[in-house]
Structure 1
C-alpha cells in the first residue's frame, strides 16, 4: 500500500504543476504552446508511473490489473479536466491545423513544446525512481536502463493497430468536441483506457507521438525508425482517415468533398404553382 501512496503523491505533484501553469497563463492565448508543454509533461509523467505499476506493481506492491486500469482512467480523466483544451497530443494539434483552425507557427511551437514536455517527464520520472521510496520503485530503478518495449508485434501489425485505434479515437473526438466537457472528458477517458487495455498485447495504443516517445522509444528491441513508423506514422495516418471519414475532405489540402454531398437530405416542399395570390 505504501507503493500506491507514493505513486499518488507523485501524481498529485504533476497535476498541481499542470494546474498552476494553466492558471497563470489562462489569459495569454498566445502562449498556448506552454500549456501544451505542461499538458504533455503531466500526461507522460503520470503514464510512466502507471506503466511502472503495470510492470512490477503486481508482484512488488500487490497491485493487480484492476488497480492499474482504474489508475489509468483516473489519470486520463484528471488530465482532461486540468489541461482543458491543451491535449498534449501532437496529432490533435496537427488536426486543428488541417481544419484551418490554427496557423503554421503556433502548430510548430505546440508540437515542439509537447515533445520537450515528454522529454522532461522522462528525466523527472527517472529521478523519482532513483529515490527508491518503495520496493516497487527500487526495482523500477534497476530496470530503467533495460525497459520492456510496448511494441510486441511486427511493424505491420503495430502500424495497423495504431492506425485503427487513432482513427476510432479521432472520429469519436470530432463528434464530441462540440459537447459539454461534462460529457466529452469522461467519454474520451473511457475510450482511451479501453483502447490502451485492449491493445496492451500489441502496441498499447498510445495514439500520441509525444506519449509514445516518452514511454517506449528509449526501450531496446526496435530502431528509432521502426518506432517512428508504428507510433508516429500509424497514428498520423489514422488521424487523417478519421478526418476524411468525418468531414469527407481535408480543408487545408483540398475543398472537394470525397464522401458526402453538400445537398440536404430532405428538400422543402415546393408551393403549388397554381396557388392563387391573395388579394
Structure 2
C-alpha cells in the first residue's frame, strides 16, 4: 500500500451501499464529504489537505447527481489529486437490479433520476449507462447484492487494505426457521434454553429489553450455556488471527431470533469487549 495518504472516491449505483461505505470511512477517521461536485475534487483536496501538518485521509462520494459531462473528466481530476501528493482510489458499488428495486421499496426513497419522469427500473438502467465509465475506471468494484451492512463494512475495510492486525468480531443473532447465516464461522444453538416467547408479558419484547434479560439471567441453564460458550470462544478466537483473516462471525440461533439469541449475542459481545477485543459489533438479523 502506498505511503501517501489515501483519497478514496466512492461511487456507484444509488442504493448499492455508498452511504454505508462513506460512514465506514468516517468511522476510520477519514474526512468525508457526500455528493461532491466532481469538478471540485482537486480544490477539495487542496483545501482540506492543507488543514493539518500531517495530511488527513480523505473520502468523497461522487455519483449520478453530478453533471454527466463532469463525470467523463474524472480521470484527469484523479490525476490532479495524485499530483497533490495523495493516493486516489476509486471504489465502485453495484447490486442486481432486483435488489436495488427492493431496497427502494423498503426505504420508500426516490431515485435521483426520478425527476426525469422515469419508472424506477428505467432510472436504474439509465444510471448504469451514465456511470459505466466510472465502473471501468474503478480500482475496486464491490457487488453488494448479497451483503448486509456489516459484511459491506468489512468488504470496504479489507478491499482498501485498511484492516490492522486485530480481528473484527461480529456476534449475529438469527432465527433457525430462516436459515443459518451463510457467512457464520461459529454457530451456537440456543433453542434448548428457556423461551421468553411463552410468557405473554415478554412475547412482544426482544433480547434488548431488560425484562427479557432478567428472565434469562434467572435461569441456571442460561448461565451455564453462556459460561461454556464464552470459554470456548476465549480459547479459540485468539487462534484465528492470521495475515489473511480480518473478521470472524459468531452466529447464535433460536426459534424466532428475537429473545434468547439476541440477548446471548449482546452478552457475548460485551464479554469480548471486556476481554480486550477492540472491533466488536452485533447484528440481529430478525430485528435490524
Bigger helix fraction: 1
| Bigger proportion of residues as strand | 2
| TM-score above 0.5, yes or no | no
TM-score grouping bracket, smaller chain normalisation: under 0.3
**Could you state the TM-score of these two structures normalised by the residue count of structure 2?**
0.26
